[in-house]
Structure 1
Amino acid sequence: MNETLAKYLPEHAVKPVFELIVAHEVHLKIVNERVTRHGDYRKALNGKHEITVNANLNKYKFLITLIHEISHLVAFEKFGRNIKPHGSEWKYTFQRLMIPFIRPEIFPGQLLPLLARHFKNPTASSDVDATLSLALKQFDQRNDKNYIFEIPYGSRFRIHNGKVFQKGALRTKRYECVELSSGRMYLFNPNAEVELLD
């Protein structure tokens, strides 16, 4: 298991993550990319704790995602199954489990202040925190995608499912974009990755 984890995690995170997996009897599956989620946790009918994490994540995103999912397990065990999945009990648990990892031996220096800020009040997905998300994406493998905030106003773009949109105005924190086939308006985070068509 340590050898497998070493492929996906920062070197100094492998041992403490392995200890968490053993302590909480986690069955970890590393799976192909899913567009809608980076990972998930569920308790199987046989009582086993199953966590999946996408294999395509960079090592820092993989670590945050894995601790995010372990936090669901720990929060449910400690506070009961009736808590909200990303409520205050989960946030508290995620903070407590993540803090030991927020150090320079594990994360690059430029990520540390962003992580410290994010974990004062963690969100359901680090993708919602646009600043942290963009900082983490610099460690991804290169691709031919653009971020919404980079493309010009009025540009046409395609998303992962093939739908085509036209970029509109920034509305507080997200961009209004029209789906061209239906005319419906959608909101996109600035850090959404899209394929520019123009």
Structure 2
Amino acid sequence: MEAVLEKYIPKAAVPLCLELIKKNGVHLKIVNQRVTRHGDYRQMPDGSHQITVNAGSNPYRFLITLVHEIAHLVAFKTYSRRIKPHGKEWKRTFTSLMLPFINTQVFPSELLPLLALHFKNPKASSDTDARLALALGAYDPPSDDKFIFEIPPGGVFRIYNGKIFKRGNRRVKRYECVELATGRMYLFSPNAKVEPIS
């Protein structure tokens, strides 16, 4: 397991991750990239605990996702399954599990202030924290994809499932975008990654 983890997370984070995995009886499954989620946790019918994480090449996002999912398991074991999946108990658990990782041996120094802010009140996904998502994106492999906010008003783009949209105006935090095939309006997070179409 140590050799596997070394491929996906910063080397300095491996011992503590191994300890969390062993202590909580986690079966870690690394899968091909899924667009709709970075990872998930589920208790299997036999009572075992399976955590699935996307095999991305961004070690910092992988680490945050892995600890996020372990926090679900620990929070459910500690407080019962009746808690909200991303409620205050999970937030408290996630923050306490992440704190030992938030240092310059694990993360680049430019990410540390953003992580400190994020973990004052962690969101259900690091993608919903626009500043942290953008900063983590700098460690993704090169791509022609752009964030929605980088698409000019009236610009056309394609999303992961092939649907094509035209970007409209910003409405508070999200952007109104019209699906060209149906004329239906959708709201997009400003840091959603899309493929621009010229």
**Map of 1:9-24 to 2, 5 A cutoff?**
9-24=9-24
Map 1:165-180 → 2, pairs under 5 A: 165-180=165-180
Q: Distance in 2 between matches of 1:183 and 1:107?
A: 43
RMSD of Structure 2 on Structure 1 (CA): 0.7
- After the TM superposition, which residues 1-198 of structure 1 pair with which residues of structure 2 at under 5 Å, given as runs? 1-198=1-198
Q: What is the CA-CA distance between 1:171 and the residue it aligns to?
A: 1.1
- Distance in 1 of aligned mates of 2:196 and 2:144: 9
User: Partners of 1:126 and 1:186 in 2: how far apart?
Assistant: 21
Give the 3-state SS of the residue equivalent to 1:85 in structure 2.
coil
Structure 1 unaligned spans of 5+: none
| Equivalent position SS for 1:84 | coil
SS in 2 for 1:168: strand
Task: State the TM-score, normalizing by the size of structure 2.
Answer: 0.98
User: Is the 2:57–2:141 contact (alpha carbons within 8 Å) kept by the matching residues of 1?
Assistant: no
Deviation sequence 1:41-91 (CA, Å, 0-9, x none): 000001100000000241000000000000000000000011111111100
Q: Structure 2: state its 5+ residue gaps.
A: none
Mapped to 2, the partners of 1:146 and 1:183 lie a distance apart of 23
AA in 1 matched with 2:12: H
One-letter code of the match for 1:22? Answer: K
% same residue: 62
SS in 1 for 2:165: strand
Kindly report structure 1 stretches of 4+ aligned residues shifted beyond 6 Å.
none
TM-score normalized by structure 1?
0.98
Following superposition, the deviation at residue 172 of structure 1 comes to 1.2
In 1, the alpha carbon distance for the partners of 2:125 and 2:184 equals 25
Partner AA of 2:183 in structure 1 = G
Deviation at 1:197, TM superposition (A): 1.0
Give the residue type in structure 1 aligned to 2:109.
G
Q: CA deviation at 1:190?
A: 1.2
How many residue pairs end up in the alignment?
Answer: 198
> SS at the partner of 2:141?
coil
